[in-house]
Amino acid sequence: MQLFFHPNLIENEIILPEDESKHCVRVLRKKVGDKIILIDGKGTEAITEIVDDNPKKCKLLIRIKNQKSKNQKSKLHLIVAPTKNFEKMEWMIEKCVEMGIDEITFIETANSERAKINLERCEKIAISAIKQSKQYWLPKINELQKFDSFLKKLETKNENELRCMAWCETELTEHLKHHIRTSANQLICLLIGPEGDFTGNEVQLAKSKDFIPVSLGENILRTETAALYATAIINSMD
């Protein structure tokens, strides 16, 4: 069954936003009395009944509310330098969210080709992807920030955290999968650099914050492909 999204499921009476109302009433032809399921991206599932099938502000009453527990798999925080063509990043967000991810932070590095993102659009894509893939938790997407300020803000790494960076330099680095501890509820922070790669300086800075270089296999992957590949592997390892 199709899921609908509303960020706030605290009150009993819910008015769907215009686009969701239209989709519900015009596209899916739902009527007064029909039941629809809402999620808030914070673990709540609400089974609701339509009390006013207005196609611009469809009104619902919550009948049953369930709080879903977050699964105990590893958490993935992807830290990525966006590509010049942002469509690739939108695709990456959709696919990574479908497969399962907790947080995405966009960074501006020395070799970055893009210093702006449309955060609202990124969030819309993420909401649509969790609805599509039937998930109850909305990943956090963070505004683009300078790489060095992102690193400076990072707290000391704790023992349940893996900090790694996909680094293109030919070094004898171990594959990401060998660093993942299964069933450990580990937080994995993965840095993916821009097409021009991280500078030596940036690599040193990341290393000083306990990021270790990891390999993503023999093939040279584009930024967005590296993100998809890593997300798939991390999700399959629990």
Retrieve residue 65's tokens.
Answer: 């509310």
- Indicate which single residue of 177, 179, 199, 209 sits in contact with its own copies (rule: CB under 8 A): 177
Q: Note whether 1 binds its own copies by CB under 8 A.
A: no
- Indicate which single residue of 111, 142, 145, 225 sits in contact with its own copies (rule: CB under 8 A): 225
**Sites for its own copies among residues 7-66 (CB under 8 A):** none
Piece in contact with its own copies (CB under 8 A), picked from 17-25, 35-43, 55-63, 91-99 = 91-99
213 forms beta bridges with 165
Considering beta carbons, is residue 10 or 172 the nearer one to its own copies? 172
Instruction: Name the one residue in this structure whose structure tokens are 């093939």.
Output: 219
Q: Note whether 235 binds its own copies by CB under 8 A.
A: yes
Q: Note whether 168 binds its own copies by CB under 8 A.
A: no
Q: Note whether 236 binds its own copies by CB under 8 A.
A: yes
Q: Note whether 70 binds its own copies by CB under 8 A.
A: no
Q: Note whether 112 binds its own copies by CB under 8 A.
A: no
Q: Strands 161-166, 140-146: parallel, antiparallel or unpaired by DSSP?
A: unpaired
Alpha-helical runs (H) found in 2-56: 18-22
Torsion sign, CA atoms 105, 110, 116, 117: negative
For residue 229, give the DSSP letter.
H
Q: Which helix H or strand E contains 120, and what residues bound it? A: helix 119-133
- Indicate which single residue of 66, 72, 133, 204 sits in contact with its own copies (rule: CB under 8 A): 133
**Spatial distance between the Cα atoms of 235 and 99, rounded to a whole number of angstroms:** 7
End-to-end CA distance of the chain: 27
What is the contact surface with its own copies in residues (CB under 8 A)?
A: 71, 91, 95, 98-100, 132-135, 175, 177, 217-222, 224-225, 228-229, 232-233, 235-236
